[in-house]
Amino acid sequence: MGRKTKKLKREKTHWGTKPLYVIATEGAVTEKIYFNSIFRRKNIRMPVLATKSGDSSPDKVIKRLNKYRKDYDASPSEMWLVIDRDYWELDVLKNISLECKVKGYNLIISNPCFELWLLLHQKAPKQPLTVSACQKELKN
């Protein structure tokens, strides 16, 4: 005589869904290399929307985020805007910051530039560094 067993009902989980972090950068090369190499993990999805054709102004970078969000129905909390302080006037940065806040995007501003931030991961500078000095040092 066999025992009757009750079938278990399992709730569907979202464990198979990897978190998404969409990163739109002002730069065309450095930022993409950094994010793809340092944060390459199998348990997250992280497309890096790097600048193409010189469209590096903050308004162009946020347009790439807007397009990705529309095309893929992404949550605003998954969207990250990464820009440098070095070339942009404070009014431009204030406007982009306000737009990010309204849309719920995350904003990262490296000051003066992303290359300095990378370089500081390697060693402490002995003297103040310019953007070109940072780029030269990183190439070395």
Structural contact between residues 22 and 74, judged by C-beta atoms closer than 8 angstroms: yes
Q: Write down the pLDDT at residue 126.
A: 72
More confident residue, 118 or 63: 63
For the chain, what are the domain ranges?
A: 22-113
Question: What is the distance between the alpha carbons of residues 118 and 38, in angstroms, rounded to a whole number?
Answer: 11
Question: What is the distance between the alpha carbons of residues 140 and 132, in angstroms, rounded to a whole number?
Answer: 12
pTM: 0.70
> Which pLDDT tens digit goes with each residue over 78-131?
999 988 887 788 899 999 999 999 999 999 887 766 767 677 767 777 777 676
Q: How confident is the model at residue 4 (pLDDT cuts 50, 70, 90)?
A: low
